[in-house]
Amino acid sequence: MSVVVVGTVAFDSIETPSGFAERVLGGSASYFAVAASFFSPVKIVGVIGEDFPEEHLAIFSRHGVDLEGLRRENGETFHWRGRYHEDLNVRDTVELHLNVLAGFRPRLPESYRDAEYVFLGNIDPVMQMEVLNQLRRIRLVACDTMDHWIQGSGDELRRVMGKIGMLIINDSEARLLSGEHNIVRAARAILKMGPKVVLIKRGEYGVLQFSDSSMFATPAYPLEEVFDPTGAGDSFAGGFLGHLARSRDHSQSGLRRAIVYGSVVASFTVEDFGLKRLTNLSLAEIEERYRRFTDLTNFHT
């Protein structure tokens, strides 16, 4: 079952305590697409500039990602520069150039419109809504957002929230969106805004899942070294939704398995800069770490 993703396809310049990378392939849609492609076919909606190289497009093609909805416009590609603190859960945006993303109007090719699984990556909620309005057979919509949109486009975001099944969001953003500091209260408040399920990402501390009737917690897979946390959240979302689109099992245990697959994929992403590790990853490695993860969290023995 195909997954449609809308989000940024970017050049990222990243500085972490382990080193730096200049203008590497990044963006929420890029991480999501490669992560989800291990489980399901993916279709990208997004925009790139004239400067976007063929070798980056080849990475998507190698992962079978459909690029018909990725438009090339005159101008430069979206560029983000970020710097991480010693505490890798904290990062600063040093530069943000929207470039061709400014004024982008997503238009879905006919071949995308019957997709049942959708990820609205972190972009302007107006664009997220435009994508939703073009889909005919939605089974599940998951959505991400960030402080910038919560503060600047609250009304539009509220409208999107009324139409989605799941929100996948950072803990600090969940607090900002709900006005509640306690994370359980924050999740309860967000559930009242529309989504049936809220997934709260807590960086190296893992993920919490809330619905009206259930709660589930997983750690992040413990690693000795994290090189670059960029894209962990989008890789989590990709592994999660990609797996769910494959299994089509929306039961509580199906959701839990998908959450662990998402966490496993994200744990690979942070092992190297940008998309490097994800693009050298095999399904066998994912399955092996999934087994280790099961072992790690098993207390029934």
Name residue, tokens 């919560």: 150
Residues 74-103: x where in contact with ligand AMP by CB under 6 A, - otherwise, as a string: ------x---------------x-------
Of the residues 144, 171, 228, 234, only one is catalytic, namely 234
Strand partners, 105: none
- In one-letter notation, the amino acid at residue 61 is S
Least separation, in Å, of the C-beta of 300 and ligand AMP? 33
Binding ligand AMP (rule: CB under 6 A), the pick from 77, 145, 230, 263 is: 230
Strand partners, 81: 13, 95
Measuring CA to CA, which residue among 140, 221, 204, 127 is closest to residue 170? 204
Least separation, in Å, of the C-beta of 70 and ligand AMP? 15
The yes or no reply on residue 49 touching ligand AMP (CB under 6 A) is no
Radius of gyration of the chain from its Cα atoms, rounded to whole angstroms: 18
Residues numbered 109-128 forming contacts with ligand AMP, rule: CB under 6 A: 122-123
The yes or no reply on residue 167 touching ligand AMP (CB under 6 A) is no
- What length is written for the chain? 301
Structure tokens at 185: 């209260």
Q: What's the distance, CA 222 to chain centroid?
A: 20
Active site residue 155: no
Name residue, tokens 């603190």: 85
The yes or no reply on residue 171 touching ligand AMP (CB under 6 A) is no
**Count of chain residues binding ligand AMP (CB under 6 A):** 16
Q: Which residues contact 280 (CB under 8 A, 6 or more apart)?
A: none
The yes or no reply on residue 106 touching ligand AMP (CB under 6 A) is no
Residues of the shown chain interacting with ligand AMP in the complex, contacts defined by CB under 6 A: 8, 10, 12, 26-28, 80, 96, 122-123, 148, 230-234
Residues known to be catalytic: 234
